[in-house]
């Protein structure tokens, strides 16, 4: 088994300290986003420690209803950011990035960077939404920039 070494170019804000949300409370950024935006599940199916309520797996129809509700909400409320690790799995360092403005190259598979790749033209709505999100959610007013980073993991 090998180690991946990926190069990444993204447009966003480098966060020098820990991520600006409670990682202990939320498993990942998608769960945090749902909580932040007030997502309400149609019903509870799992206990706080991830076990089935009632101790047995629920019927497939109820599981489908539960996850379809979440998928529909996610589509209607897309995250305005993506977390990009620019270091390693053991020592993460983060850029909070505009999701549509990221390019990754895996070792041995170079990516062509055309002239438009590092332009912000055509992304004004995404960038404005991103800026508003950073200010509202984390009180970050720093202007986004282009970052070239790597990931060893």
Asked, for residue 87, whether it belongs to a domain, the answer is yes
Asked, for residue 32, whether it belongs to a domain, the answer is no
Are 86 and 72 members of one domain?
no
What is the tally of structural domains in the chain? 2
Neighbours of 137 (CB within 10 A): 17
Q: What is the mean pLDDT of the chain?
A: 89
Asked, for residue 27, whether it belongs to a domain, the answer is no
Are 141 and 128 members of one domain?
yes
Asked, for residue 119, whether it belongs to a domain, the answer is yes
Please write the tens of the pLDDT for every residue from 90-101: 888 899 999 989
Are 65 and 53 members of one domain?
yes
Asked, for residue 11, whether it belongs to a domain, the answer is yes
**Residues 111, 103 contacting (CB under 8 angstroms):** yes
Query: Pick from 106, 104, 37: which is nearest to 73 by CA?
Result: 37
What average pLDDT does this structure show over 108-114? 88
Are 147 and 84 members of one domain?
yes
3-class state of residue 51 by DSSP: coil
Check residue 146 and give its pLDDT.
95
Residues 6+ apart with CB under 8 A from 143: none
Are 129 and 90 members of one domain?
yes
Domain enclosing residue 144, as ranges:
5-21+80-152
């Amino acid at each position: 088994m090998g180690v991946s070494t990926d190069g990444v170019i993204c447009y966003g804000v480098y966060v020098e300290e820990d991520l600006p949300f409670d990682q202990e409370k939320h498993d990942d950024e998608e769960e945090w986003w749902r909580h932040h935006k007030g997502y309400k599940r149609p019903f509870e199916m799992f206990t706080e420690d991830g076990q089935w309520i009632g101790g047995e797996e629920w019927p497939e129809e109820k599981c489908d209803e539960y996850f379809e509700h979440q998928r529909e909400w996610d589509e209607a409320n897309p995250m305005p950011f993506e977390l990009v690790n620019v270091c390693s799995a053991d020592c993460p360092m983060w850029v909070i990035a505009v999701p549509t403005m990221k390019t990754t190259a895996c070792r041995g598979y170079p990516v062509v960077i055309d002239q438009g790749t590092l332009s912000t033209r055509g992304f004004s709505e995404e960038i404005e939404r991103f800026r508003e999100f950073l200010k509202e959610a984390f009180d970050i007013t720093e202007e986004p920039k282009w970052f070239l980073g790597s990931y060893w993991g």
